[in-house]
Amino acid sequence: MGDVNRSLVLEGSEQGYATTRLDALLGWARKYSLFSYPFITACCGMEFMALTSPRFDVSRFGAEVPRFSPRQSDLLWVVGTVSQRQGPVLKRIYEQMMAPKWVFAFGTCAASGGFYDNYTTVPGIDKIIPVDVYIPGCPPRPEAVLDGLMLLQDKIQRNERRPSVVKPRFDPAESVHDMVRLRRSAADPRALLPAMREHTKRNVGGSAS
Amino acid sequence: MSQIVLDKLRERFGTAILETHTNYGDDTAVVDRGVWKAVATFLREDPALDFDMPVDLCGVDYPNRMPRMEVVLHLYSVSKGQRVRIKTRVGDDDMDGAELDSLVGVWPGLNWLEREVFDMSGVRFRGHPDLRRILMYPEFEGHPLQRTYPAQKTQPLVEYRTEDEAGVPLNKLEPFGADEGMPFGRKGLPRDGTSPAVPGRRRSLTEDN
C-alpha cells in the first residue's frame, strides 16, 4: 500500500496530499464518467453501433455506459434526423436530464437538418435544445465522433460551454486528388500499395493523440 | 394477356372508364370517381381477375388540371400474377369535392394507405373507419404534398430558441475555414487556441516523398 500512496503524491509534496482546484477536479472526474443517453432516430445509428463496438471502442473514453433513462445520464447523443413531431419528445428528454448535462449533435441531420429542408424536419436540434459539440458527416466516421468526444472532454475539463464543431484534419478532396494522381503515374497499380498505405497512415490513422 | 383486365373493365363499365393505356405490360385505367368503389369491388371479386393484394395508394397533384388531384391505386393478383393501375381524379382548385368512397371494405389493408393519402394530399374518404392523419401530427394545418403548400413552410410543435437565449448564431453557418474547430491538442496548434495556424499541413504524397 505504501508504494501505491507514494505514486499518487506529487513530487515535492511528501506530506501525503496534493492540491488542485475544485472545479478542475470535478471536471477531471466528470469527463471520464460520461453516462450516455442515445436518442437514435435514423441511419446514423449504424455508425453509433460501430463506435460502441470493439473496433472503435468508445469505452476507452469512459463513455460506454448507455442509460436508457435520461434521469441517470449526463450526455445526450442525438443521432439522426429529428422530425417536428419528435421535437417535444427531444425537449422533454433534455429537460429530464440532471445538470451538468451535455449534448452531441451527431451527424448532419441533427446538426442542421441536412438536406431535409422541408415541412417535416427540425433544421438542427439547436433550434430546440443547446448543443455542445456538432459532429458533421452523413454519417460521420467513428473517428470523427471520437474526435468530438475528446473535444467534449476537453471542454468539460475547462468548463467551457460554447458550442464547437468537429472538423476534418485534412481536406478529403485533396487526398483523393493525390491518390488519383498517384494511380495514374504508375503502370502497375499493385506496386503502389505500400505507398498508399503509408499515405493513409500518415493522414488518417497516425495523428490520433 | 395483359389487355384482358382492361377489356373486362371496358365491357363492364363502358363510358365510366375514361382512358386506358398499356406500356410495357403495365395496364392503366382512369375511371370516373363515381364508379371508384364499383370498379374496385369488381376487380376484387371477379374470379377471372382476383386482385387480392392492394400494393399502393397515393395522390398526385396536377394543379393545372381540373379536377386536380389524381388518386392512384396499384393492384396485384397473387393467383394470376397480374398487375393493374387504377386512377381517378377528384377535387377542384380549392380541393372542394375531393372525396372518394373508401375501399377499406374491399381491401382492409388500404386503411392506413387511405389515411396517408388524406394526410399528404387532402383527399377525404367516405366511409373510412378512422380517417385521421397518420404521418403528420394532429396540429398540422394543410396537406404538404399539395402543390399549393409552401415548400419552406414548417409548423414546429415547440417554439424555437432565439439567438439571444442561445448566445450563438442559430442560422446555418458558412462553411468552416481551416482555423475553426479543434482548439486543443492538435499538432502545430498552441493549446490556448489563440493563433490557430493550419494544423499540421499535410505533406503531399508525390512531392517530398
User: What ipTM describes this predicted complex?
Assistant: 0.72
Q: Is the pLDDT of residue A65 over 60?
A: yes
CATH of the domain at B99: 3.30.460.80
Contact B186 A122 (CB under 8 A): no
Note whether residue B19 is domain-resident: yes
Is position B56 within any domain?
Answer: yes
Residue of A nearest to B166 (CA): A130
What cell was used for A141? 466516421
Q: Measured between alpha carbons, how far is B95 from A23 in angstroms, rounded to an integer?
A: 63
Q: Contact, B59 vs B145, CB < 8 A? A: yes
Give the pLDDT mean for A15-29: 79
Q: Do B160 and A127 touch (CB under 8 A)?
A: yes
> What per-residue confidence (pLDDT) applies to B204?
41
B51 lies in some domain: yes
- B156 in a structural domain: no
Pick from A19-33, A128-142, B84-98: least confident: A19-33
The answer to whether residue B29 sits within a structural domain is yes
Number of domains in chain B: 1
Domain that holds residue B29: 4-126
**Biggest CA pair distance of chain B:** 84
Q: Which residue of B has its CA nearest to A174?
A: B204
Dig out the grid coordinates for A176 from the structure. Answer: 483523393
pLDDT of residue B175: 45
Q: Which chain A residue is nearest to residue B153, measuring alpha carbons? A: A119
Give the three-state DSSP class for B28. strand
With 70 as the cut, is the pLDDT of residue A6 above it? no
Q: Which residues contact A96 (CB under 8 A, 6 or more apart)?
A: A70, A71
> Does the beta carbon of B183 lie under 8 angstroms from any beta carbon of chain A?
yes
Contact B202 A175 (CB under 8 A): yes
| Separation of alpha carbons B209 and B122, rounded Å | 65
What is this structure's pTM?
0.75
